[in-house]
Structure 1
Amino acid sequence: MSDFYQNGIVTTLHNLSSRSVRELEKELVAFARHRPMSLVLPSLYSELAEPALAKIVDELCEVPYLSEVIIGLDMADKEQFNHAKEYFSRLNIPHRVLWHDGPRLKALDTLLREKGLAAVERGKGRNVWYCYGYVLASGKAEAIALHDCDIKTYSRDMLARLLYPVANPKFNYEFCKGYYPRVADGHINGRVSRLLVTPLLRALKQTLGQLDYLEYLDSFRYPLAGEFALRVDALNDLRIPSDWGLEIGVLLEIKRNFANNRICQVDIADNYDHKHQPLSVDDPSKGLAKMSIDISKAIFRKLATRGNIFSLETFRTVKATYYRIALDFIESYYNDALINGLSIDRHEEEQAVELFAQNIMAAGEAFLNHPMRRPFIPSWNRVTSAIPDFLERFYDAVETDNA
């Protein structure tokens, strides 16, 4: 059970009473009569072989309030797509599988490329962007949730708590971010959030001053959580990164489009565990190494659009400041682990901080070398302006694939 403390400029909705999931779902069923809800699941085909996704599907079969589940399927051939349709057929909720590698959706992606509107690279962001397009095309939801398919500790009350703030008509929230502790097998996890994002934000505050965007990002208890919910009307003007910067990019876009009182975060789980990425010290194109570069670039680009001027000297100062702050955080987390009977490998923690410090510089140099590179996939408003019937064609393609 968490405390009731409100920190930063974003409202925090705590888990203070451990309400039963059935009580929450009873209210959500009532909300759904006026504000129907859908769920987006971005998935690699390989995740269908994992027990985590099987448990997620089992839990979703008990959810009584969803209008639709949209599964974005990546890295699948025709046989694998047919297997995916069979795999998800036990869902007793209307659902569609978006076959991103199929000929119909690839043809539509080629059309977007010809117009300069396609995602610059494949990844979770591209998957989610297409799923959001289908949500707009189907018109079956007014509130939408998203979570990953590799959550080992999943239970359906996570989804209920995530959707509640944007589904309850008495609330005015347009966006809700989930948060939770990251502890598993006696260890504190979540290295990128603990040892990169928070220390980097604090270093930027010391270097650039107290900026609204930095205070906003620093208000989130778990800014890299892949679980968030939003009203469907927020999708039209949402521009999201196609790479590992998705979660930070969405937070920054929501801040651009909505006032702080339309944004909240909610405690959705007592504990959370999912598939862990390797640190990938020797390969910056993989694992936490690539993640740290993409996230840092997303933050730098957004600050630049707010009028902040960066130079190589600025990034060197940020790196040095970050490194000192991050080392202090390691001490804090080590003590937190000890008092709770948990363990942290301080050597591995310092290895991560050293890698992240290098990658902050790498991200800064990449930004300076390519300041005009388009970091976001265009909004759906722009797509439908350029190709007015695109969503209809997209909807028909998905329906044909699923027939």
Structure 2
Amino acid sequence: MEYVQERVTTLHDFGDAAPEAPTDDAAVVVPMTEREHAGLAAERVLSALETVAPERVVVPLRASEERVGSVASWLEGFDLPLELLWCDGPELGALLSASGLNGTRGKGRDVWLALGVAGDSDYVVVHDADAKNYDAFHVPKLLFPLAHGHEFSKGYYARVENDRLYGRLFRLFYRPLVEALDADTDAAVVEYLDSFRYALAGEFATTGALAREMRVQRGWGLEVGTLGEAFRLVGSAGSAQVDLGVHEHDHRAVSGPSGLSDMSEQVAAALLRAVEDNGGTPEYETLPARYRRAAERLVDAYSLDSAFNDLEYDRSGEREQVETYADAIASPPEDTRLPAWQEAAITPAEVAEAAAADLDGAVESVDAVPER
């Protein structure tokens, strides 16, 4: 346990933190896929939110037409002011296409749609649906700094389970890459990015106004891109991070579709673009080598930390991951971020209307299929 402050205000849980916060003025966004619905983690998250009593809960859903009806029926079983935003319907797709906004689908795109719909609330809290040990204090904890003058807050937590360290993409890629960047640029954004203790956490909160000012990455770069936007818009003085304890999440393989290797490419692009956006000029020719040196130092540190706590540690496996992630370090490709809602060619009301029509059509289609 410690009480160290970072460049952003850092709120610690010393064991019994249960702050009061304006949950009844907050929209909670819980992005979900059809795979996660009805799972134990998602069930726990939504059941806990029943005791939080937020103003509203917005669920941006990525699901096939065949599954959206069953997800909708399951969500109706929770005592929540819930708004289901189906992100894959034809009318919504046509609306986005007509405005030049459709493009690549992913978690970030889903959250962007929800931020538009939820941004008319005073506060917006975003968190994943796969935390196995989620509790009802997460929302008020994230809201607390916003109720006291900050505009952006980020959750952080330890990733320790099954007697080993997880959070590999953060530990082995994000953290050493930021350290390498810090050695070749004096841009203040790098120190800002370095101050977050779990920068890839899916849990964050903003004021409603800030939610509509942020440009959003379409995919797995969402979390890092959000930090870059928070720095651009409110800086360190307007940001905070909040201790959410220990989290247990689903674990991804390093390789394969949607594996950590693919994610590292999107995280790198978002991170390096955030640095460039805010005055940094990374030296890309030497950056991979400096990343490897920083990662090697951290592997040694994680190994010793694991031994100190009698945890298992696969040093060679972690080094192999470092080599895999190093291939992702390059100048960011074309910027495909979604625009701030206040500058978008469509309105949140149009999104909500199209998504509702799509949902009604999908449910009616399923109901019309005769039983055999």
Q: Is the Cα–Cα contact under 8 Å of residues 203 and 325 in structure 1 kept in the other structure?
A: yes
Q: Which has the higher helix share?
A: 1
Shift of 1:327: 0.9
2:318, 2:266 → 1: CA distance?
A: 20
The answer for the alignment partner of 1:349 in structure 2 is 318
2:280, 2:123 → 1: CA distance?
A: 34
2:102, 2:356 → 1: CA distance?
A: 22
SS of match in other structure, 2:31: strand
Picking from 281, 288, 299, the partner of 2:260 is 288
SS of match in other structure, 1:325: helix
Q: 1:286 to 1:92 in 2, by over 3 A?
A: closer
Picking from 12, 15, 29, the partner of 2:13 is 15
Q: TM-score, normalised by structure 2?
A: 0.91
Q: Is the Cα–Cα contact under 8 Å of residues 119 and 242 in structure 1 kept in the other structure?
A: no
1:319-358 map, 5 Å: 319-358=288-327
Write the letter of the residue equivalent to 2:168.
R
Alignment pair present for 1:43 and 2:32: yes
SS of match in other structure, 1:48: coil
Q: Is the Cα–Cα contact under 8 Å of residues 113 and 351 in structure 2 kept in the other structure?
A: no
CA-to-aligned-CA distance 1:213-260 (integer Å, 9 cap, x gap): 100000001111100011000022210110211101000001001132
Q: 1:220 to 1:309 in 2, by over 3 A?
A: closer
Picking from 253, 262, 274, the partner of 1:278 is 253
The answer for the alignment partner of 2:63 in structure 1 is 75
The answer for the alignment partner of 2:116 in structure 1 is 133
Alignment pair present for 1:122 and 2:105: yes
The answer for the alignment partner of 1:174 in structure 2 is 151
The answer for the alignment partner of 1:376 in structure 2 is 337
Write the letter of the residue equivalent to 1:72.
P
Picking from 304, 308, 313, the partner of 2:276 is 304
Shift of 1:309: 4.3
Count of matched residue pairs: 360
1:159, 1:179 → 2: CA distance?
A: 13
The answer for the alignment partner of 2:45 in structure 1 is 56
The alignment-based identity, stated in percent, is 32
Q: Is the Cα–Cα contact under 8 Å of residues 32 and 59 in structure 2 kept in the other structure?
A: yes
What is the root-mean-square deviation of aligned Cα atoms in Å?
Answer: 1.9
The answer for the alignment partner of 1:185 in structure 2 is 162
1:208-219 map, 5 Å: 208-219=184-195
Q: Is the Cα–Cα contact under 8 Å of residues 42 and 130 in structure 2 kept in the other structure?
A: yes
Picking from 141, 146, 160, the partner of 1:161 is 141
After alignment, is 10-19 or 181-190 more displaced? 10-19
The answer for the alignment partner of 1:199 in structure 2 is 176
1:153, 1:296 → 2: CA distance?
A: 29
Write the letter of the residue equivalent to 2:259.
G
Shift of 1:17: 4.3
Q: 1:357 to 1:57 in 2, by over 3 A?
A: same
Q: Is the Cα–Cα contact under 8 Å of residues 61 and 93 in structure 1 kept in the other structure?
A: yes
Q: Is the Cα–Cα contact under 8 Å of residues 68 and 359 in structure 2 kept in the other structure?
A: no
SS of match in other structure, 1:96: strand
Q: Is the Cα–Cα contact under 8 Å of residues 215 and 337 in structure 2 kept in the other structure?
A: yes
